[in-house]
Amino acid sequence: MTEHDGPDAAHLRPEHLDDATVEALGKLSEALEIVEQARGELYAFHRLTGMGDLALGEAVELLRGAGHHDIASRIDSELVGRNVIEGRWTFQIVEDYDDGYYAAFRDAEASARSELAGGRRHLFEAEMKEDRRSRGRRHHEALPPGE
């Protein structure tokens, strides 16, 4: 166990910060984490849609090889390479999301954290850890060994 049995300086609440503000910043951080997860799902959608289109191209070639030229040509012209939404492939959706909503969300969270808590992250969680951990027990240490 370290001599100092608490969070590191980056996770200590600044003296001027009240409970309501720490809770609000914690909720803002939670909201960003949800948006981060949604972003991951959007990238999964992007990758899966692309993989589906490539597999569709392979299916078209197999249909052609099996002698089903009309069906293969119809699927090829109607679906292979088709826009997912009007005028856009998934990479364009991802870029719009990243450059617009996601960037604005990250900036708003970082700005609020900077203005209110000196840029410190996860203060709510750090205090929750201190409240919930069993001091002096292995695997309940405040910090990794050596810090």
As a whole number of angstroms, the distance between CA 8 and CA 142 comes to 8
Q: In sequence order, what are the beta bridge partners of 85?
A: 88
Average pLDDT over residues 50-69: 98
Average pLDDT over residues 32-38: 98
Q: Dihedrals φ, ψ of 134, to 5°? A: -95, 100
Q: Is residue 39 part of a domain?
A: yes
Helical segments of 66-143, H only: 69-78, 90-97, 103-117, 123-132
Q: Is residue 8 part of a domain?
A: no
pLDDT of residue 97: 98
Q: Is residue 139 part of a domain?
A: no
- The answer to whether 124 and 29 are in contact (CB under 8 A) is yes
Q: Dihedrals φ, ψ of 143, to 5°? A: -135, 160
pLDDT of residue 4: 66
Structural domain that includes position 70: 19-118
pLDDT per residue over 81-119, tens digit each?
A: 999 999 999 999 999 999 999 999 999 999 999 999 999
Task: Look at residues 49, 119, 126 and name the one whose alpha carbon lies nearest to residue 84.
Answer: 49
Average pLDDT of every residue of the chain: 94
The model's pTM is 0.84
Q: Is residue 99 part of a domain?
A: yes
Domain count across the chain: 1
- The answer to whether 102 and 35 are in contact (CB under 8 A) is yes
Residue 32 has which token pair?
């960003």
pLDDT per residue over 68-80, tens digit each?
A: 999 999 999 999 9
Half-sphere exposure of 1 (CA within 13 A, CB side): 13
Q: Is residue 11 part of a domain?
A: no
Q: Compute CA distances 17 → 12, 20, 23, 24, 106, whole Å.
A: 10, 8, 10, 11, 22
Does the pLDDT at position 1 exceed 50? no
- The answer to whether 119 and 125 are in contact (CB under 8 A) is no
Q: Is residue 131 part of a domain?
A: no
